[in-house]
Amino acid sequence: MFEFLNKVKEHKFSRRTFIGAGAAVTAGAVFPASRNKLQKLTAVQAEELQSSEGEWIPAACWHNCGGRCLLKAEVVDGIVKRVKTDDTREDSPDNPQQRACVRGRSQRQQVYGVDRLKYPMKRKHWEPGGGNKELRGNDEWVRISWDEATGIVASEIERIRNKYSNRSILVTGGDIGRALNLVGGHVGTWGTTSWGSWRWGPAYFGLQEGYFEHSINDRMDLRNSQLIVLWGLNPAWSSPGSPTYNFLQAKKAGARVIVIDPMYSESAELLGDEWVPVHPGTDHALMLGMAHTLIEEDDPDSNPLIDWDFLKSCTVGFDQEMMPEGADKEANFKDYVLGTHDGQPKTAEWASEISGVEAGVIRRIARDIASTNRVALLTGWAPARIKNSDSWPQMFMTFGAMTGHMAQPGRMTGVSCHFGTGNGGPRLVMGGGSGVPPGAENDVSDSLVHAEMWDAILKGEYTAGYNDKRDIDIQMIYHGMGATLQTRDGQSKGIDVHKNVEFVVTNGHFITTNAKYSDIVLPATTPWEREGGFNVGNRDALFYYRNVIDPLFECKDDAQITTEIGMKLGFTAEEVYGDVSPRQQLFNQIAGAQVINKAGTDYEPLVTITDKDITEWGVEGEPQKGRITVSELEEKGVYQVERKPGDNYGYIAQEAFRKDPEANPLETATGKLEIYSEALAEYVKGIGFTEIDPIPTYNPATEGYEDTYKNFQAKEKGDYPLQVINPHYLRRAHTIFDNNPWLREAWPNDVYVSTADARERGVKSGDTVVIESKHGKTLRIAHVTERLIPGTIGLMHGAWVEMDEEKDIDKAGSDNILTGAIATGQAISGWNSTICDFRKWEGKDLKLDKLWEPRTV
Ligand SMILES: Nc1nc2c(c(=O)[nH]1)N[C@H]1C(S)=C(S)[C@@H](COP(=O)(O)OP(=O)(O)OC[C@H]3O[C@@H](n4cnc5c(=O)[nH]c(N)nc54)[C@H](O)[C@@H]3O)O[C@H]1N2
Ligand SMILES: Nc1nc2c(c(=O)[nH]1)N[C@H]1C(S)=C(S)[C@@H](COP(=O)(O)OP(=O)(O)OC[C@H]3O[C@@H](n4cnc5c(=O)[nH]c(N)nc54)[C@H](O)[C@@H]3O)O[C@H]1N2
Ligand code: SF4
Ligand SMILES: [Mo]
């Protein structure tokens, strides 16, 4: 087709040499001779590279990965030769280095990947209106110019607006909305994504979710806990960087650790004193059994297990006496637990039937937590990424309140996940704004719920609220950023949608799933190829990255792509994006960066800026006094606030509220933590899917544990007798890095199955198995392990679907091929509530992913 493609074909890409070869050789081999610099690299001798000293430049590690670390790239003659991590300070338990994980250290393999998108591409059989739409996903690609590509996108936008309306254009991410809003707007999407039922609900009953806000204490205080409960969190995989190390300090300081998880994770292995395997999505029932134990056994004089003082001063709804004004006194939590009205006491035995945890263990853990002075009750989001889990966060809070483990040193109850893992509190250092103006308003108000959208588009109707269904006719999809077709519920339907609509565009780095099913793909730069910026992670540190290399091939910044499409729609660059240059944007972020003052009471400028800096940068600005110079920031790439125990930067969540709840009420209807919350129930009802009670009653998940039975009472298993969870896996940050050869080698992406389930099905480690749910089928190689509770399989999140269309089967282990487009409650994407079965695959065995051909175009 084109010269470079032929060259790549001729090269007869060999995975072995690619993985085994030295880095420089790799980059040379995979890049065709289309750029001088790259040509030079092929010519550079390995020895020369070894000895030459390039410049170490702070380089972005920009993913939504749960950690955040310092990366530095050594650039020799315009090419990144090596990558290293934080050596800017001595490593210590109080002030750990911000060290990169295995993915960050493989970043060069991504930026210089053989499969990087290099030029704008058009699907061969595309025509205005779609052409042969069925071919999406399997068609050939044709290289086109940027002028043609942006021209096609603009003319399709106009054609579809005129034939249908702006309500037929769906944008799933990125900033293309800036251009589209100038011509009437577009439909958007929303959902609970990461947080599950922690996303919005908790604000109604008085707890925060732990990402932007924090319901737990900071990492120094973790060392004051005597017992830490890790309830469905695995920082060793999903919060790389320093969180696991911080937990280790707490453990060294004497804390015991209980891990409650269907999988014996690497965090459990490192930190755990006890692993309590639980059926996914049944945590709520388990905790009710624990609450029942405390209610049954508590005696304020001889065996105090419940913190009545805390319940009375800080909560409403626990029992008849504590019900808020106007509420039905009978509808209290304690009577529900005791089964006063429904005849079903939520005993440890009852909870055991559902959760799979022995009743004796349930009682023992409940007593242990209640009778230990200082406990950290920490949960990740995974147990809340469950359909119908809207009352789970309130249940978690209720148990924390019953035991009083809240808002005091060493005592906390809440979310510990992602950047906030084991380290709550406001940011100690942050970057400033770029100064780019906000852009035009979107005149279209429709927005589709992730968990429903593929189905809604196929049906032509979506849920907009309680008793509120609206028609929708999507004909164009613009994937500006994100991996929507891969990461949303019900991927099989998503693929159908992509084969139906008239036009699909993706900006991206590779032929990802979104790109594969598109008509036009536009090659975007990575942050290594851009001007620079800040990345944030844990509250202690701020990461600054610079431009590392020139844009590769014809890649352009997303902002530039949006601007050029906007210009084709008849607007000026300024109208689309304002007139703040990328250099000025970076400078504004530096000038606006703030750090906590020494007293811990306010923020002050982080960076000192001189007149000379302003002149050298060629920007507008004012000199200012800060902690570090611009050149120090440029050189180090990180600013980390120095911590020590007892310093001014500690954080105890909701401390003031607990000390004086009348003077410092919460922002709930009653000012208290609401074990009875009408506001929560009303909120969930208003979303328009399913409803809940004001108290945290247990609602079995749709496609949850109970649904693995045809008849739960008779213990008769159904067609899909197993549950699926999607742990966030170290090979990937979601879908990112799935194609990375080093990581494919390090993390093979097998499906984890328990020894018991494998034996029952005659499956051994290394066998290819087909995993089947109601919604789809996928193949994987089995990894048989004792690390999983029997009855649950672990299909790691984020593999790029690879459909064998004839057999209607995915070969890559794509998690969302198994999930359905099923929305419940507050629009939860409940991925961890999915049921399936697996069996030995009769067809050809799968090759290991590391031997698969890359998707080069
Ligand atoms: N079944 C199942 N599904 C899940 C989950 C699960 O556990 N199970 N987890 C969910 C969670 S928690 C999340 S947060 C979501 C994540 O869902 P997504 O945000 O959709 O996933 P990512 O893989 O992070 O997608 C980022 C995409 O943007 C691209 N990209 C990165 N930088 C740029 C850029 O500068 N420009 C452009 N144009 N593209 C760029 C990357 O290459 C990648 O394709 O997935 C959710 N989906
Ligand atoms: N390596 C890697 N790290 C990541 C990401 C990634 O894609 N890859 N994504 C990042 C993002 S955006 C997010 S939102 C976070 C998500 O972070 P989490 O939600 O904490 O991550 P998971 O790995 O899905 O689950 C954590 C643990 O919960 C367990 N678990 C699953 N279901 C249940 C359940 O029903 N009950 C109980 N008790 N335990 C359960 C899993 O076995 C796992 O050990 O991870 C972040 N970190
Ligand atoms: S944890 Fe995230 S930021 Fe840190 S190196 Fe890994 S991928 Fe990069
Ligand atoms: Mo997430």
Q: Ligand 1, closest atom to CA 509?
A: 42
Structure tokens at 256: 């015991």
pLDDT digits 0-9 by tens, 584-624: 999 999 999 999 999 999 999 999 999 999 999 999 999 99
Please tell me the distance between residue 102's alpha carbon and the centre of ligand 1 in angstroms: 18
pLDDT of residue 53: 77
Is 11's pLDDT higher than 70? no
Residues 6 or more apart whose Cβ sits within 8 Å of residue 616: none
Mean pLDDT value across residues 505-524: 98
Please tell me the distance between residue 352's alpha carbon and the centre of ligand 2 in angstroms: 24
Q: Distance (Å, rounded) from C-alpha 317 to C-alpha 129?
A: 58
In a mutational test of the pocket of ligand 1, which residue from 734, 775, 793 has the highest number of ligand atoms less than 8 Å from its CB?
734
pLDDT of residue 495: 98
Q: Which residues pair with 837 in a beta bridge?
A: 772
Among 36-50, 217-231, 300-314, 789-803, the minimum mean pLDDT is found in 36-50
Q: By three-state DSSP, how is residue 472 classified?
A: coil
Please tell me the distance between residue 64's alpha carbon and the centre of ligand 1 in angstroms: 7
- Other CB atoms within a 10 A radius of the CB of residue 162 amount to 8
In a mutational test of the pocket of ligand 3, which residue from 98, 102, 103 has the highest number of ligand atoms less than 8 Å from its CB?
103
The ligand whose atoms approach the alpha carbon of 482 most closely is 1
Among 201-215, 308-322, 448-462, the minimum mean pLDDT is found in 201-215
In a mutational test of the pocket of ligand 2, which residue from 725, 751, 831 has the highest number of ligand atoms less than 8 Å from its CB?
725
Q: Which amino acid is at 507?
A: N
Q: Ligand 2, closest atom to CA 103?
A: 1
DSSP state string for 667-692: SSSSSSEESS-HHHHHHHHHHTS---
The ligand whose atoms approach the alpha carbon of 451 most closely is 1
Q: Ligand 2, closest atom to CA 797?
A: 7
| Strand segments (E) across 254-361 | 256-260, 274-276, 315-316
CB-based neighbours (< 5 A) of ligand 4, an ion: 194
Please tell me the distance between residue 418's alpha carbon and the centre of ligand 2 in angstroms: 9
pLDDT of residue 208: 82
pLDDT digits 0-9 by tens, 92-139: 999 999 999 999 999 999 999 999 999 999 999 999 999 999 999 999
pLDDT of residue 747: 96
Q: What is the dihedral of CA 721, 727, 733, 739, to 10 degrees?
A: -50
Q: Ligand 3, closest atom to CA 85?
A: 5
Q: Distance (Å, rounded) from C-alpha 538 to C-alpha 67?
A: 7
pLDDT of residue 25: 27
Closest listed residue to residue 811, CA positions, set 762, 761, 777:
777
The residue whose CA has the least distance to atom 1 of ligand 3 is 67
Q: Distance (Å, rounded) from C-alpha 280 to C-alpha 724?
A: 8
Residue 104 CB less than 6 A away from ligand 3: yes
Is 13's pLDDT higher than 90? no
DSSP state string for 691-723: ---SS----PPTTSGGGGEEETTTTEE-SS-EE
- Label residue 644 by pLDDT band (50, 70, 90): very high
- φ, ψ of residue 791 in degrees (nearest 5): 100, -5
Q: Distance (Å, rounded) from C-alpha 131 to C-alpha 151?
A: 17
Please tell me the distance between residue 541's alpha carbon and the centre of ligand 3 in angstroms: 14
Structure tokens at 95: 């002030």
The ligand whose atoms approach the alpha carbon of 419 most closely is 2
Q: Distance (Å, rounded) from C-alpha 403 to C-alpha 310?
A: 8
| Strand segments (E) across 15-140 | 55-59, 71-76, 79-85, 121-123
Rg for the chain, CA atoms, rounded: 27
The residue whose CA has the least distance to atom 26 of ligand 2 is 233
pLDDT digits 0-9 by tens, 312-358: 999 999 999 999 999 999 999 999 999 999 999 999 999 999 999 99
Percent residues over pLDDT 70 in the chain:
93
Residue 68 CB less than 6 A away from ligand 3: yes
The residue whose CA has the least distance to atom 6 of ligand 3 is 101
Mean pLDDT value across residues 623-629: 98
**Domain residues of the chain, as ranges?**
3-111, 197-428, 705-851
Q: Distance (Å, rounded) from C-alpha 839 to C-alpha 762?
A: 8
Closest listed residue to residue 78, CA positions, set 35, 19, 18:
35
Q: Which amino acid is at 103?
A: R
Mean pLDDT value across residues 292-297: 98
Mean pLDDT value across residues 567-578: 97
Is 450's pLDDT higher than 60? yes
Residue 225 near residue 374, CB atoms below 8 Å: yes
Q: By three-state DSSP, how is residue 170 classified?
A: strand
Please tell me the distance between residue 417's alpha carbon and the centre of ligand 2 in angstroms: 8
Instruction: Give the angle 446-450-452 at the CA atoms, nearest 5°.
Output: 85
For the chain, first and last CA: distance in Å? 10
- Ligand 1 shell residues, CB under 6 Å: 64, 174, 193-194, 385, 481-484, 487, 507-509, 512, 524, 558, 726, 733-736, 797, 815-816, 819, 831
Q: Using CA of residue 443, residue 445, residue 451, residue 454, what is the dihedral sign?
A: negative
Is 44's pLDDT higher than 80? no
The residue whose CA has the least distance to atom 20 of ligand 1 is 483
Closest listed residue to residue 371, CA positions, set 320, 444, 473, 302:
302
Residue 120 CB less than 6 A away from ligand 3: no
The ligand whose atoms approach the alpha carbon of 421 most closely is 2
Q: Distance (Å, rounded) from C-alpha 785 to C-alpha 766?
A: 12
Of residues 26 and 608, which shows the higher confidence score?
608
- Ligand 2 shell residues, CB under 6 Å: 64-66, 194, 231-234, 237-239, 260-263, 265, 278, 280-281, 283, 380-383, 386, 417-418, 725, 727-730, 732-734, 797-798, 832
pLDDT of residue 211: 63
| Strand segments (E) across 92-140 | 121-123
pLDDT of residue 6: 32
pLDDT digits 0-9 by tens, 672-728: 999 999 999 999 999 999 999 999 999 999 999 999 999 999 999 999 999 999 999
What is the CATH superfamily name and number for domain 197-428? Dimethylsulfoxide Reductase, domain 2 (3.40.228.10)
The per-type count for the chain, helices as H runs and strands as E runs, is 33, 38
Is 1's pLDDT higher than 90? no
- Which architecture, in CATH terms, is 705-851? Beta Barrel (2.40)
Q: Distance (Å, rounded) from C-alpha 687 to C-alpha 683?
A: 7
DSSP state string for 412-439: EEEE--GGGTT--SS-SEE---------
Residue 67 CB less than 6 A away from ligand 3: yes
Average pLDDT, the chain: 93
pLDDT of residue 851: 97
Is 23's pLDDT higher than 80? no
